[in-house]
Structure 1
Amino acid sequence: MNDFGLILIGLILCTTTISSLQCNHLPLQQRKVIENSLQLLDKMGKKFPQQCLREEMSFRFPEQVLKLGQREAVKMAIEEIFHHIFYIFSKNLTLAAWDGTALEQFQNGLYQQIEQLEACVIKKQTHYFQKKEVNRLKLKKYFQKIDCFLKDKQHNLCSWEISRAEMRRCLQLIDKVVRRLNN
């Protein structure tokens, strides 16, 4: 084997060791990221605008996807949720009138968390796969409602504020589940 091959194997082993060490502390890291994300959501915008109160929308988050059955299934659901939140908060934000720095920090935090979860979640082709698919469909439907709501309202200020409030509730649910995972 040449020097390049040995270096590559060393990097893979090092990355695997670092990754497994990070995975052991993942619930604590997730709580910090969620806490930070909630603070950034608050910092991004001001108080909920009074004129938007008439337009409230109930999206009904599918809480069953976060039921504490198998830890891996819950981690996969959280990873999926972060992907959807990142997608929602990465487009057509011109009418949102939010603090750009806080929004960018929020997006960066979500992206980093997605990468950590992807590295840690075991991608088994067992019973997790079926449960993951059912959960993915439920989450996709939930986030499509939000996306359609934003499009129907032409991404106006109120639609973004309602979506921001909904993401706050979503992150709070995840935080509650992550706290229970630690116990």
Structure 2
Amino acid sequence: MAFMPSLLMALVLVSYGPGGSLGCDLSQNHVLVGRKTLNLLDQMRRLSPRFCLQDRKDFAFPQEMVEGGQLQEAQAISVLHEMLQQSFSIFNTTRSSAAWDTTLLEQFRIGLLQQLADLDDCLGQVMGEEDSALGRMGPTLAMTRYFQGIHVYLQEKGYSDCAWEIVRLEIMRSLSSSTSLQERLRMMDGDLNSH
């Protein structure tokens, strides 16, 4: 587990370094890190998806909820946080380390941790203790269930190379959808700061 010291160092630097505490202002840097993270996940591809057609699965990503405009700011932050946390959880296992190029995997994890650190600051600001329970219901619960399905799928497929490729593509799709949610959060914050 050679990647852990550098992951921990990255988390410390993001949490305490200059600009690490962004409050609820999701900066352009946050969005850029998200795009870079998505690009890294794309580069991790090891198999052609056409070799894995028999392993395809509809994980029922709650796309309309994520891309639609019905979420309040606290819910949107909670959903995005859950999505990044669960993605990190999937790719932060021993089996994941065996499946992917370790350099790309470590950079991908660091990107997720940077985004999570930004969102942790936001969650603390927009959600009081009472709001925290509300944020964990509904949309966030739907996101949790979606990722539970991915975990179960990997187990059922024995963490095969094709299963990992299908999951990589699915996580790419969900993280791509999250970019519109991040942009909306930036606009919400801009609207709040302009008043």
TM-score bracket for this pair, using the shorter chain length: 0.7 to 0.9
Report whether the alignment pairs 1:169 with 2:154: no
Is 1:59 matched with 2:70? no
2:147 to 133, 137, 143: 143
The question of whether the paired residues in 2 share the 8 Å contact of 1:83 and 1:114 is answered with yes
Identify the range of structure 1 (134-143 vs 76-85) with the bigger mean alpha-carbon deviation. Answer: 134-143
Q: Does 1:39 align with 2:39?
A: yes
Greater CA drift, 127-136 or 80-89: 127-136
- CA distance in 2 between partners of 1:54 and 1:139 (Å): 25
Question: Which structure's CA Rg is the greater one?
Answer: 1
Aligned residues: 166
Asked whether the equivalents of residues 81 and 116 of structure 2 are also in contact (C-alpha less than 8 Å), the reply is yes
Retained in 1: the 8 A contact 2:33–2:115? Answer: yes
By how many angstroms is 1:137 displaced? 2.0
Asked if structure 2 preserves the Cα contact closer than 8 Å seen for 1:95 and 1:157, the reply is no
* Aligned residue in 1 for 2:118: 116
TM-score (norm 2): 0.75
The CA distance in 2 between the partners of 1:65 and 1:129, in whole Å, is 19
Contact 1:52-1:158 at 8 Å conserved across structures: yes
Q: Give the counterpart of 1:93 among 81, 91, 96.
A: 96
Alignment correspondent of 1:9: none
Report the secondary structure of 2:159's partner residue: coil
User: What amino acid sits opposite 1:87 in the alignment?
Assistant: S
Aligned counterparts of 1:87 and 1:140: Cα–Cα separation in 2: 12
1:102-134: per-residue Cα shift (whole Å, max 9, x none)?
A: 110001111121122112222313456324322
Residues in 2 aligned to 1:19 and 1:45: alpha-carbon distance in whole angstroms: 30
1:24-51 CA-to-partner distances (Å, cap 9, x unmatched) read 5415233112101111011112453432
TM-score by length of 1: 0.79
CA distance in 1, matches of 2:146, 2:101: 26
Q: 1:181 to 1:115 in 2, by over 3 A?
A: closer
* RMSD value, Cα: 2.3
Seen in structure 2, the aligned counterparts of structure 1 residues 19 and 180 have a Cα distance that, compared at 3 Å, is: same
SS at match of 1:42: helix
1:107-166 Cα offsets, whole Å, 9 max, x none, are 111112112211222231345632432223211211111000000011010000000000
Shift of 1:55: 1.5
- Extract unaligned runs of 5+ from structure 2: 1-15, 188-195
Q: Greater CA deviation, 106-115 or 124-133?
A: 124-133
Name the CA distance, whole Å, in 2 between partners of 1:119 and 1:145. Answer: 28
